[in-house]
Structure 1
């Protein structure tokens, strides 16, 4: 497949009716505060069967479910062309009670989707609790019905037209004077101005993943009582254009759906340097919650000496599912890996991570360390963290130590481990062998 066809396919996929319907259910769940599930049900050609084609929330696992429109509230709403509300499926005779029990729906709002008097299906928002919806919810959803139907219908028509326009016979092949991106870019910039920018971003990220152009430097971590190198933090560097900070590369990857791939690729590359590092030095790698929950991380850790591996969970990353993360860390720790909470002290999220995940290591944020020798507030907060760490058998590492005065103050407080430009700048694994303070 040439690049023209590839671009065309990506663009068509982004405007596929199924993609649009998934956006509809996702946004409906956000819009209606009482909802914990949403689904688009399409009417089959038999004119009777409604099928769950796009689901989210508590209904996500019900994809493909089929129900009889003649014995359900959805069917009644579609036949009457009226948005209907059910407050309690256990007492409402209009609903298919068995299906409601199967999917856990107690209350719901069913919005008919009708295009030019042709019934297409239903948008349903649901709740696992009774009396979750109001007349205001019904009014809002009824008002959106025409827009939703038009959006889905337009997506189908746009996909058909662009499929023809962006085919090889219409600009992608032969001796066309236009480049393989000009026509797709023209179409994209009219229908979705952000598309071209996001596509280019995705190309750059995919190029990094395919080429493996992720290198690493390692910032040394020292035992402040003995001046011995005890660990390193792996810091990614990207050698491709555009030249931008690593955090921007990772943010770009997440914005185009490749964040987990980028994090795991970086982790794989970093851990390949274990044998190059001083034998007494651990290696800390930054990984987000979603990547930690990936099964690929277990495969990766199963092939190396995990006794020297520390996983750093950054304070700034929101955790959506603590129970799963706790279970995964229990499994990872069983392999010998240690858990560190990065950026402790820079926000409330870090303390939630600490309380719920019980890390082996807390890394004090540079914001807390800066001028600590002159600031009694920073001194008091750091003292409180140290007391907590001592009582929970947690190690503390101070990050961003840049002045002798900061180092002295931290030693006086009882901080045993530290890193920062005063102690040692990031270096390649080979150069790190000669590092000392």
Structure 2
């Protein structure tokens, strides 16, 4: 892994004339094109000419003191799930190859452009965002940052998003998160991923997986980087982030579900981080959260993802089902058996779950748990073994899904030390506590890896 700058560092360099937007874009394009790198598997489409033109425009505006923000000219990647004017949105699939190009940008893409960020290309993903692993049989699977000579999964579904950031092919990424799709790739690649409260950011202009659970969020190299991108996506002012001191933090570790079947490395890394936070003065309490047991019950027939994805795919999968990744189509087709009564029952159960969990978490600043119960598996071990894939997928998604189901917000921070297997630590809270989560995460992100 190369040492790469944060958005704040890049913004300072641009402001002080130490670099230009064009140079930043050219450097990212060179990394994408490197035949020894992961660029060909990380990007489905690279918008070279448009990115260079946008960079030149930002350089001109900056010289005229008219840059739309201090971050203008910094290249970002966009997950293939989002509409970009003039481009086909394939969502990591071949089934949408003949779709018409988008007529307008998705609102989140438009907001990034208005802030002056340069869209460098569309990143690879799990087909139709339907797994936490990141394997894609259509466009290849980018290798995660850990132990490239072996080849470990990048995490999904925002697989290319994470790899683009960790390899310097972009300096931030737009992803999605339905059951962990920003946080899992962040955890597997040693970067930061944020899942916002769903209602804060518009979902228009993206191919849905589950309209109930989908949210759009950033992946980047630091908590502050993610906070900047989150503010832009939510159309909120970019306010300097004030890190909370660790002393006095009230953190709850849920012993229900979230600590079950942890990989030994994950458990050791998490325990070490908790010891560090405790020594620094955080109050850490292990609590039962029996509401989390309801998540598995609600999703027993496939849950919202199966029901809502089947509603969106039912005609496409009838005509082009043979094109789909079989692991994806099988999960979508579970939704065919979910009745209207089943769906209404799920909605009612989730409404109750959200209210009961919010009440239980109210005394604490945040929940803290491992982002994923497992470390990134080897691609070769899952490529042809459906049983191994299913087991790994469940473990990767489980903890993150708890937060989507309670309509919460969450961030994944790298908790491993340099040279260790990547492990993510997740801070989460009930919906609406996004700023608090950022402040808490900023206070601990450097210390938990000591």
Q: Mark yes or no: TM-score above 0.5.
A: no
- TM-score, normalised via structure 1 length: 0.25
Decide which structure has greater strand share.
1
Higher relative contact order (CA 8 A, sep 6+): 2
Larger radius of gyration: 1
